[in-house]
Amino acid sequence: MSPVARSSRWLLATATVLATLLYSIDSTIVNVALPHMQGSLQATQDQAAWIVTAYIVVSAIATPLAGWLGARFSLRRILLISIAGFTTGSILCGVASSLTQMVAFRMLQGGFGAALVPLCQVVLLQEFPRESHGRVMALWGVGVMVGPILGPTLGGWLTDEFSWRWAFYINLPVGVLAFLALLVAMPKGRTEKHRPFDVRGFVFLSLAVGLFQLMLDRGETSDWFSSPEIVAEAFFSVVCIYMFIVHSLTSRHPFVDIHLFKDRNFTIALLIQLCIGAFVLSPAVLLPSFLQQLQGYTPAQAGVLMASRGISSIFAMFAVGRLVTLIQPRTTLLIGIATVTASMWMMAGFDIATPASQFVIVGLVQGLGIPLAFMPITFVAFATLPDASRTEAGVLLTLVRNIGGSAGISVAIALLSRSAQVNQSYLAEHFTPYSTDRWQALGALPGANVATGGLMGEIGKQALAIAYSNDFHVLAAATLLAVPCVLLLRRPKARPAAAASAAGSSAAADPSH
């Protein structure tokens, strides 16, 4: 690299972190403002849910396309278009005056934003020397991990102090800064002009991912497989993924390079990413609702209590950047999984009377563990792949993490709902009209006064508290499923720079890539 390019590296790193934050914050910032948007847009709760669903589904469909677009038209061009499109979509969401407009503009956001996270990661790996990858991946990881944590806090504050529309307007300065920094700092890079586009493979994969995301997002409100809609979405999702696999194995130029899966570490890294995405991201959704439903905190207050998780994550990110060069990734991964599991086991002990200080302590512990569990996966996945495969590999890692996260959150919420119902039925059995001794001990008569209604409300809260405890116990146990995969990882051998460069050049010249 020339001196000018070398001096602009950290400007480029700042641009990619801002672009990553732009997308990751927006994935959660709207959830807090949704009730206010519902009233302003005159929508029912089920209709307002499409504001979130549209964003998630379109983003999931567009994510696999990001790899091909980045290779065909250059990472720089696609990232600049994505940032500009996402920022424009944010402003349009802020001025939307109807539900139809809002859903359409959220789809625009999801489509343009899908490329931001995977391609920003690839840019840093491509433009920084191998010895700096630990530090820049730690910096990029701050955007990935802190964004979803910061989103509810920022969204709650903006909604309370100004309006829900500012949850979208806040993207304008971030988007402009990211666009200008990337325009100045990032070189144009090479393109693969003759790379064919596998239309059928893209259609099969997009339908499979989109239908699966739609099933996960609407499953709880539609009573899961009791609904014909959910059954149809699950069935056709399975059919499409089967057709995609068969087509990829028989096509000369498949949409996803199947040679990637011959790399043992990359394939196992995908499995670990799926497991950790499913079980580690779920507490970020469960804990705010616990704080608001059972302890009476406002969204902004709940966000402040969860800020400890983000603060410790930032420190841990930079520590991991150095640790991966000193300690085997397997060791770091196991420490991270053990720390996250311990934090969720501590969460299982939360109840209605848990003090705020305990939430902060557990948040600090979990914030330390998440980067230790997530960051080494990136190094393991890319360590033995040729440089030319980074773009496609980065997209697959992001896609798998998103699918795992969506699946884990949906399952956790479904378990919470079912467990709360069962617990309430069990607890209510002890307060029938004939349980006179219990009613007398409470100084109330069944159905005779307001105290009875208050008691039933308290039973519901206790049932929900037990359900949350059960959920955290299940998540803690399920996180350990990633351990056998970690043990199967091979220690990556460092490749000489020349060999790596040769591998990259060879792959770039091959039109099948």
Structure tokens at 19: 């672009």
For residue 361, is it within any domain? yes
Range of the domain at 389: 264-513
As a whole number, mean pLDDT of residues 290-298 equals: 79
Query: Is residue 164 located within the same domain as residue 244?
Result: no
For residue 102, is it within any domain? yes
**Residue 504: per-residue pLDDT:** 36
* Phi, psi for 43 (deg, rounded to 5): -120, 150
**Residue 507: per-residue pLDDT:** 34
Query: Is residue 297 located within the same domain as residue 385?
Result: yes
pTM of the model: 0.75
Q: Residue 88: pLDDT above 90?
A: yes
Query: Is residue 174 located within the same domain as residue 232?
Result: no
Question: Which candidate, 172, 151, 165, 166, places its Cα nearest to that of 32?
Answer: 151
Mean pLDDT, the chain, as a whole number? 78
As a whole number, mean pLDDT of residues 356-382 equals: 83
Structure tokens at 424: 């309430």
As a whole number, mean pLDDT of residues 34-52 equals: 74
Query: Is residue 134 located within the same domain as residue 247?
Result: no
Query: Is residue 14 located within the same domain as residue 65?
Result: yes
For residue 259, is it within any domain? no
Query: Is residue 189 located within the same domain as residue 218?
Result: no
Q: Write out the E strands in 343-431.
A: none
Distance CA 287, CA 440 (A): 36
Query: Is residue 126 located within the same domain as residue 70?
Result: yes
Query: Is residue 222 located within the same domain as residue 332?
Result: no
Q: What is the CATH number of the domain that holds 335?
A: 1.20.1250.20
Query: Is residue 157 located within the same domain as residue 283?
Result: no
**Residue 511: per-residue pLDDT:** 33
Question: Residues 412, 104, 148, 294: what is their CA dihedral angle, to the nearest 10 degrees?
Answer: -50
Choose the weakest-confidence range: 83-92, 267-276, 451-460.
451-460
Q: How many domains does the chain have?
A: 3
Question: Where a domain ends, among 175, 195, 215?
Answer: 195
Structure tokens at 36: 């206010």
Q: What confidence category does residue 500 fall into, taking pLDDT thresholds of 50, 70 and 90?
A: very low
Instruction: State the Cα angle at 246 between 241 and 252, rounded to 5°.
Output: 120
Query: Is residue 106 located within the same domain as residue 63?
Result: yes
Query: Is residue 284 located within the same domain as residue 338?
Result: yes
For residue 244, is it within any domain? yes
Q: What confidence category does residue 496 fall into, taking pLDDT thresholds of 50, 70 and 90?
A: very low
Distance CA 105, CA 217 (A): 19
As a whole number, mean pLDDT of residues 304-329 equals: 75
**Residue 191: per-residue pLDDT:** 59
Q: Residue 353: pLDDT above 50?
A: yes
The pLDDT tens digits of the residues spanning 381-435 come to 877 777 777 778 888 888 888 888 878 888 888 888 888 888 777 776 666 555 5
What per-residue string of b and e applies to 173-190 under the rule 16 or more CB within 10 Å gives b? Answer: ebbebbbebbeebbeeee
User: Are 108 and 94 spatial neighbours (Cβ–Cβ below 8 Å)?
Assistant: no
Q: Residue 58: pLDDT above 80?
A: yes
Question: Which candidate, 390, 373, 507, places its Cα nearest to that of 124?
Answer: 390
**Residue 443: per-residue pLDDT:** 58
Question: Which candidate, 313, 328, 209, 341, places its Cα nearest to that of 265?
Answer: 328
Query: Is residue 214 located within the same domain as residue 296?
Result: no
For residue 85, is it within any domain? yes
For residue 314, is it within any domain? yes
**Residue 487: per-residue pLDDT:** 85
Question: Where a domain ends, among 147, 177, 195?
Answer: 195
For residue 456, is it within any domain? yes
Question: Where a domain ends, among 254, 277, 298?
Answer: 254
